Structure formats: C-alpha cells, structure tokens
Structure 1
C-alpha cells in the first residue's frame, strides 16, 4: 500500500490509496474533445433560449423574485453585523486565512514526504468526496479541505452574529447553507477529480448530453428548471403505482372518494377514512404493491376509504379550510355512512391532512357529530411553535408577497412548493441530480418515491393563506384560537383516542414538535416515534424489516425525557398500530364487496383527480 501522507483521514479505504496517476487527467482525443465542447456550447445556447423565451413573451413575471429578495434582505442584516465593526471583521478573516494557511502548509509537508494530520475531514455520511483522488491528489485534497473549512467558518459566523432574532438567524443559516452546498468543489468538472476523469474519458460527450437534458428540463418547466430526479417513464398511475383495486364512489368539485375492494372474507365493522395532505397526491400511501400502506390495511381487514383532492385551479381560489372540511372530510364521512351504514369510523390523517382532520374534529364535535371514534395522525403538527424547516419561508413579509402572487391566478403553482421542499434538502435532492444529469449526462434511475415527489400539486389561494397564517404564523390551532364556521375551535374538545406517529429524522414535522402537539388534545394520546424521516418513517412495510420505532409513556414532560425512557422495537410501526386499533374495536362484519350495477361506482381507482397534472 502506498502512503497518502495522512495517518488516517477517515475518507479513503486502504485498498484505494496510492500515488495519483496523471494519465487519468490527460485528454486522449483533442479533436473529439474540442468538437464536443462546441456541441456543449450550442446546447447551452438552446437552454438559455428556453429560459429567455417565456420572459420575452411576458409569460413570466417577477413573482419568482420574492425568495431572492428575502434572501438578500436577510443576508444584508447578517453582513451588517460583521461589516459594521472592522476589528470584528478582521478577526473573522484572520481565523479563516489561518485555517487556509494550515492546509497549505500541510500540503507542502506532504509533498516533502512527511505524514500529517488533515485539517478538515468530511462527515462519514458525506458521499461527495469518496473518489480516492480527493485524498491522493494534493490539489483536490486542498480544495476539499478549504471548502470544508470555509463552510464551517460560515456556520460559525451565523452562530456568533448578535442582534438577530431567532427567525432571522435561522433564515440566514439556511441561505448560507444553500450557498455552501452550491459552492462545493464536487459540483464542478475542474474541481472534482471524478467528474474530470469521466469528462476526459468521454471526450466531453457527457457535457453535451448534460446540456441537452438541461434544455429539456427548462422546456418542461415552461422557462424554469424542472429538475428531474428519476426516470419517470417507468411509472404509470393505476398500472405500476397506485394499483390497489378500488372504485371512486363519490365526487364533487373538490374531492373524489375512493373505496378499496376487500381482500378478506370478514372486515372490521368500523370503516377507515384516510385524509392525505393536499400538498401532495394521496398515492404516497399506495406506491408499488410492496410498499403500499393502503394495500396492507385492506389485507388486515379494513374497509378503506381515501380522499383524493382535486389539483386546484382558478375555480377553487376561494376554497379555504371550511370548504376543505365541509366538501372534503364531511363529504367523505357522509359517503362512508351511505356506503356502509356505519356511524362509527376510524380516521387517519397524514401531515397537513392530519392537521386539517384535527381542526375538523374540533369543529364537528361542537355540532354533536361524533362519527369519528379514533384519530391516527402520521407526522402531523398541530402546535407550530417549534415547526420544521418550512418555517424559514413563513413570516409576515413573505406571506404577504405570496398572497399577492396567488391573487393573480387564484392558486400557488405546484412547482413553487416542489422547489421549496427540494431546497430544504438541497444536498440530497438538488445537487446530486445536477451533477448526475447535467455534468455526467446520465439519466436518473427509476425511483417510485421521487416520481411521486415530482407529481406536484397546486394550492388554492384561500386554503394556503389560511394554513400559513393560522398555523405557521399565529399558531392558532394549538391555542384554541382558530375560527372555523364562525366558531372558535379547541383541540381540547377532541376526546377520542389518538395515535400520533412522529419520525425521528423528520425535517418537515420534527418529532419534538409533534410531541408538543400531542398535549393539545382532550383524550388519551399514544405517541410513537418511527425511525427515518417524513416519508420513509411512515411508508415502511413490515416485510422490508427496515428502521425501528419507539414506544413509551404518555407524551408528557420533555421530549428528551420521553425518548430516554422509551423502548426501541425493530422494524415497522404498522403492526403496532394494528394492535392499537384493534383495542379500540374488534367487531367484524361481512366483507363489503362492490355490487354490479351500483350507481355510485364512478370510476376505477386511483380516479381522475389524481391524474391532473400542473
């Protein structure tokens, strides 16, 4: 084994270390390389034209500039602190330059044959620097360490900035993190040894293919980049995803209600209603047959009904939470009662669908409507005091700007929310695909979850505005101050048993936030913590034997104390939930099969509304 000059940097395995080979970086066919560079430039011009055309025609306005305006406004406050005091600025610069000097000195000592300790080491989970030349080659090693040092230095600056309120500091940290991710040397051909070697080996053809894909993605986004994260051609609704047999049994202007065919001779007497988020489409719970939560529920003997929200347009501009409750949840409850004759129903709400479900329960209990007997909340927040990273985008100025933009069309374009969700995890959902698609020139692989993620939905103006103001900005639901139907509603009035599932690594509905919200209800709450994040923590079939979940006492006191006292269980939380729901009612009935000639059978699942694209 050749010596790298480092004792152990934790990033390169023993079998990969050795002296760098210059031959990998030499262009073998200059003529082909030059020709492909010309083709790349031609394709880049087409990409630029695709971006400019809708703007020249007036089809794009300045609404998209608001996030940039907020970023400039936020970072200006951050910079003002450091630039207003020359001594403080000099001290910060000295720290950075001192670290750079240490890296430079180490590089010289390495080339002289000494063994030195690296100044900066990537995190073990950081996949960007796995090529052996990030260690073996002094040039790329210097770039890597300088980048890591600069990123940590920027984080430290944010932490040490006084005079910023918590929200502004959190925004500043987020925007700085976006710059840091974007500036990674792993994102560029000439600063990434792996990309450089691939480009040389392909004589630059990878860049030609990448620019072609970039053009296609800008055209697909009507002048904005619509980053492809998977090969979507492998997925078709009703054929490869969302395949659980069922029928659309009711429809109005806002929802379709899907009833799924039974898979057992007997079913639980209580039907089960699922209220998914309207921000995404319901079939995250009915992906491939192997991952389908809905198919699993049917196999356990549940009669499952699901709300499939319409993809709203200008016609739905004024439909707010009251409409989504009346025409969505209550319409579904009426449909279930009509179809099954049952007035006792179990309900599941996922993410913001769970938030809406809780508000609906608090509202209808005032009317004496007690049809919902249990509520299961999957990664659902009702207390937004310590909400997730989405709170970065919610303050009075940003909400007012968003409301003004929505007023023009009556809705928020789905690509805007898709972009926000991708930014929250840009190191996972943006830059790896930028590198793979537009530099490597490779098509992304088929991935059902990312196919669903890209199938974005619009948000009606009234609905989205009510949600942002009443939940994120003013936290009215948890305080008993939300007004629906002319009445103040309180979650204390919701006395049914609640099963509240959080996910340990959830960045949208953080586990401590879900834990805090569990104390808002008037009845018994079973709090369960799943491993992984907002999606994988929920969509975790038992057969996959992945992750784990924790159970413990009542959600009282501090979240950390509950977690310390909890018990860890291997695998999926699904069977645990099934045991819980059976303790509420084990009564069975004959399977509810569809009858020929039934006038309520409108369409086959997954229905028409889920197929509506932005």
Structure 2
C-alpha cells in the first residue's frame, strides 16, 4: 500500500532571515498587502500620466463635463420626470431602492456615479502603464470609492433613513448590537453567529460513508450506496485544500456527493488535513503523491480492474490535471474520464486574483508564511472578499449594521467560514510555478524530475466554468481547450465560483451553456464559444450525470466497503476526523 520517503527542509528562496522577520512583523498593519507592490503600481501610473499632456487635458475635460452633468442634474433632480444622466454598472445594486430616485438622494447617487466613472477613465488606458499596474491602480481606486459610497452612510441612504423613521431608530440600535456581537466573536475566535445551526457531521457532510484510508495529508471516504446496483466505474473527488471538502457535501438537498450516490455511482472523496506550522515543508509533490496518487491506488484496490472517473474542484482540479498528465506520460490508463470544476490549467489570465500576485506580493507572502509556517485562511478569505466587495462586504455592512437585519445564515456561509491553512513550501511553489511562471500550460511543470504536458492526456474531459467566477474566471478555465487533444465538453453555468457549482436541480433562475469539441475539431475562442454553445435552463448536474453515464459501463453489483484483505478496513464514519480540524 502507499508509502513515502521523508521530505527534507525547504531551501527554496532562503533570503536574509532579518528581512523576512521584519516583513512578517509589518504584515498585520498592511493586511498582508505588499506596500512595495502598491507603490510601484501607483508610481508607474503617476509617472506616465505626468508626462502625457494630452491625456491630462482629456481627463481635465472629462472632469469639467462630469461637474457640468452633475450640476445640470442637481438643478432638475426635484422634477418627477428627471432622467438619470448615468446608470450604475450591470452588477451594481446599491441604488436600486425606490428612495434613490427621490431628491436629494438621486442627486447624491448621480454625483457619486459620475465621480466613479471619472476615476475609471483616469486609471484605465494611460499610455505606457503596464497592464498589471493599471489593474492594481484601478482596483485600489474602486475600493476607495466603494468605501465612500453614499449607500454606506445613514444620512445619505434613503433606505436606512426610511427604516430608521419606521422603527424609531430600532434598526440602528440592533445594528450596533450586531456590530458589538461580531466584534466580540472576532476577538474571541468564536464562530460566526448562526454557524451553530450547521454543524459538520450533524447538519453538513452527512452523506453516509466510511473513512477507509488515512495518511498524514488525506482521509479517503467511501460513500454507502443507496441503490441496488451501481455503475462499475467509481468516482473519485479531489477537492481544493484551500477550504474543507464538504463544499460538495453541504446540506443533503445541496450535496453533489449525495446526488451522485443516489444516481447509482460508487463515490470516493478526499478530505484534506488542515496543516499546522509543523507541516511547513509539505510541497506540491507531497500533495500530488500523498493526495491523488495514494487515493487513486486505494480506489483501484477497492474496485479492481476498473477505470476511475476523476473529478477535481478548483485547486484540486489543477492538481488532478497535473496527475493525469504525469500518468499519461507513464502510460498509466487508470482514468476513465476527468472532470475539472472551476479549475485553471493556464494562469495567464487569472482575473482579479492576479492583482494580489506579482513578484513583490509573492515575496511578501513568502515572508509571512516563512514566519508562521503557513498562510492563514483569514488572509486568503480577505483577498477573495475584496474581489467582490460590494456583495461580500458593503452589502452585508448595510444589512447587518445599518438596517439592523441579520443576513440569513446558510450552509454555504458555514462552509465559507470554515477555512484551512496552506503550508509555506507548497503555497510558495504553487504561486511561483502557476501564477508567476505558468509552468503547467508551458510544459515545464516537473513531476519526478520530468516535465509533464496536458497534451499527453488521453481520457475524455468535462470542464466547468461559472459566469461570475472571481477566483477562476471562466475564460481562463476555457483555455483548457488549447492544452489538450481529446474530446472536451465545456459547460458554463450561471452563478459564481461556489454558488454556480452548488446547483441542485429545481432551483429557479439557473441556466447553463454547453458544447463538446471533438479531439480533431476546430478551436473556438470564448466569444465564439458563447455564440455556438446551446443554452439550457436549470441545473448542470443532470447534464454532467448523463455525460458520466455515456462514459460508463452498465450497472452491476455493489462493491465492498473498503478492501479488508488489503488492510483497507473502515476506520471512522464519514465525515472523518480531518474535516473537524481547526
């Protein structure tokens, strides 16, 4: 059965110890952001703007036009038939309340939107500024403006004023109590209010199963079948280790794992351990070997002589792609298919996450991780929140603290609050090899000392992207088409990185587009793909299930639980021990 050699200490990027220590001590004051990276971005923008008189003149003219538009609107804003001079951006819902159409709030919101538009023009398209620096400056300016939005303040938000008048100020009193309670929970390290309603193993991750294998890095869960017969090929799920595995096994009605089991599949899922400072030297090779390869060996021992449907989510999908390429190079044909869910294999266009990743920022993160031995989950979560700050920060501030309402807690919110740590060496390698060097897409990623290439993969692929993904933008996920030469079905579903995936049948307002490209078919760029892909209403789960069925054999008898004769007897009931680690 699986065995491993000990790992030596990491010697990559040793750096002066004093420098690393100093940078780590500054981190709490900068929220983990490299001030050098920010300064370089703004220096680039200011320098080029200062030597471009034509652009300065254009921005001055735009400022005058904005002021004139704002003044003209302010004069007419008391009329009932006054039309806005500027509309919010597509996903900006801050000014949808009817009160924003009334004076003086219509004038206030229009002034803010005009200012926002001017800063958008000022920070984009300055000739000579690098694309990365331009994106950083634009993002930073947008965040500063969002903090100053009139929607965030009592006296300039008509919805809050209306609620305050109706409740005689009870909403503000309740909002203050909510704020104090949240502050106390934050300081004490207690779980978010409402999390007690979603306990792992009791309310979440309750699909019946057994832990049949455990090593230092993973537990492997085999789920109990609920049908009389099952498809012969087992399904192995490789979740991301950035968060807990049960994103795919939330409440029973939201569980993709339960859905697969109920549809007659033998399902195995990996549950990653939550690393501590003692695990600082775990690296990408460890995650590949002790994770996917050990799990695959166990699955093939339980269900011998059958190929496996491998499913990877987010970072787990990236690692699965590496494993599949390495297996193909060695003529290892144990994979029947590979499904990559919101997983990037080419990192040249990773979306707004790229704002937090350049050489300076990565060096700063390395120093933080070097000091602690890991990257804390709160820091990773903070970066994701700022990428979608209107929905994840400011709208919640409005609801919880100004309107005095608690955002209804959900199973997805409970999972999102249950973070994991990332080992120093692994995350350093991941950032360098994927984001900075794009080694996998470039054919330079080494496994056992030799580079692997996704062009070697021979099994059919099912790729999934989500329309509003801020972590793995679907156009980046779509680049998989450029890296493989097999039949590839690509599906684009509504929603974001998590909500788009937790997408059971029956939910209103869900839709997806899907198109299969044959191994010898022409490449379609993302825009052409959007035009050609057939649109369907509803959840993507049944379509994927039909695809798995088409690549599986006929149903047959149930497999054994584990393989006791090979030392793989059930150890614990699902969800196991690792998912409970804090």
Query: Normalized against structure 2, the TM-score is what?
Result: 0.88
TM-aligned CA distance change 1:110 to 1:521, over 3 Å: closer
SS at match of 1:442: coil
TM-aligned CA distance change 1:422 to 1:298, over 3 Å: same
Corresponding residue number in structure 1 for 2:572: 603
Corresponding residue number in structure 1 for 2:505: 542
Alpha-carbon distance between aligned partners in 2 of 1:386 and 1:87, rounded to the nearest angstrom: 30
1:564 aligns with 2:531: yes
Larger deviation, residues 513-522 vs 234-243: 513-522
- Correspondent of 1:483 among 439, 443, 446: 446
RMSD: 2.7
SS at match of 2:506: helix
* Contact 2:205 2:251 (C-alpha < 8 Å) held by counterparts: yes
* Contact 1:249 1:259 (C-alpha < 8 Å) held by counterparts: yes
SS at match of 1:297: helix
Corresponding residue number in structure 2 for 1:181: 146
TM-aligned CA distance change 1:222 to 1:394, over 3 Å: same
Alpha-carbon distance between aligned partners in 2 of 1:273 and 1:350, rounded to the nearest angstrom: 11
1:434 aligns with 2:397: yes
TM-aligned CA distance change 1:344 to 1:596, over 3 Å: closer
1:332 aligns with 2:306: no
1:152 aligns with 2:117: yes
Larger deviation, residues 602-611 vs 92-101: 92-101
Q: Deviations over 1:368-408 (max 9, x none)?
A: 43222211111111011122221111111100110111011
- Correspondent of 2:133 among 168, 171, 180: 168
Corresponding residue number in structure 2 for 1:390: 353
1:453 aligns with 2:453: no
Corresponding residue number in structure 2 for 1:47: none
- Correspondent of 1:61 among 13, 21, 25: 25
Corresponding residue number in structure 2 for 1:21: none
Q: Deviations over 1:491-513 (max 9, x none)?
A: 12211111112223323222222
Alpha-carbon distance between aligned partners in 1 of 2:63 and 2:441, rounded to the nearest angstrom: 45
Give how far 1:251 is off: 1.0
TM-aligned CA distance change 1:190 to 1:86, over 3 Å: farther
Corresponding residue number in structure 2 for 1:612: 581
* Contact 2:366 2:428 (C-alpha < 8 Å) held by counterparts: yes
Q: Deviations over 1:35-90 (max 9, x none)?
A: xxxxxxxxxxxxxxxxxxxxxxx9x9321314161334423432344455678546
Alpha-carbon distance between aligned partners in 1 of 2:115 and 2:388, rounded to the nearest angstrom: 20
* Contact 2:302 2:560 (C-alpha < 8 Å) held by counterparts: no
Give how far 1:204 is off: 4.6
Structure 2, unaligned runs of 5 or more:
1-21
Corresponding residue number in structure 1 for 2:212: 249
Give how far 1:596 is off: 13
Alpha-carbon distance between aligned partners in 2 of 1:480 and 1:231, rounded to the nearest angstrom: 46
- Correspondent of 1:190 among 140, 148, 155: 155
Alpha-carbon distance between aligned partners in 2 of 1:162 and 1:246, rounded to the nearest angstrom: 59
Give how far 1:364 is off: 3.0
Corresponding residue number in structure 1 for 2:92: 126
Give how far 1:221 is off: 3.7
Give how far 1:92 is off: 2.5
Q: Highest Rg: 1 or 2?
A: 1
* Contact 1:231 1:443 (C-alpha < 8 Å) held by counterparts: no
1:362 aligns with 2:328: no
1:104-119 to structure 2, matched below 5 A, reads 104-111=71-78, 115-119=81-85
Alpha-carbon distance between aligned partners in 2 of 1:432 and 1:393, rounded to the nearest angstrom: 23
1:300 aligns with 2:288: no
* Contact 2:302 2:562 (C-alpha < 8 Å) held by counterparts: no
Structure 1, unaligned runs of 5 or more:
1-57
Give how far 1:124 is off: 6.5
Alpha-carbon distance between aligned partners in 2 of 1:114 and 1:438, rounded to the nearest angstrom: 31
* Contact 1:270 1:342 (C-alpha < 8 Å) held by counterparts: no
TM-aligned CA distance change 1:94 to 1:371, over 3 Å: same
- Correspondent of 1:376 among 306, 315, 339: 339
* Contact 1:540 1:546 (C-alpha < 8 Å) held by counterparts: no
TM-aligned CA distance change 1:305 to 1:170, over 3 Å: same
Give how far 1:454 is off: 1.6
* Contact 1:271 1:303 (C-alpha < 8 Å) held by counterparts: yes
- Correspondent of 1:573 among 540, 544, 550: 540
Give how far 1:331 is off: 1.4
Alpha-carbon distance between aligned partners in 2 of 1:596 and 1:602, rounded to the nearest angstrom: 12
SS at match of 1:118: coil
TM-aligned CA distance change 1:161 to 1:490, over 3 Å: same
* Contact 2:222 2:561 (C-alpha < 8 Å) held by counterparts: no
- Correspondent of 2:466 among 490, 497, 503: 503
TM-aligned CA distance change 1:127 to 1:515, over 3 Å: closer
Give how far 1:516 is off: 1.5
1:217 aligns with 2:182: yes
Alpha-carbon distance between aligned partners in 1 of 2:277 and 2:97, rounded to the nearest angstrom: 50
TM-aligned CA distance change 1:175 to 1:595, over 3 Å: closer
SS at match of 1:537: coil
* Contact 2:445 2:451 (C-alpha < 8 Å) held by counterparts: yes
SS at match of 1:568: strand
* Contact 2:562 2:568 (C-alpha < 8 Å) held by counterparts: no
* Contact 2:345 2:477 (C-alpha < 8 Å) held by counterparts: yes
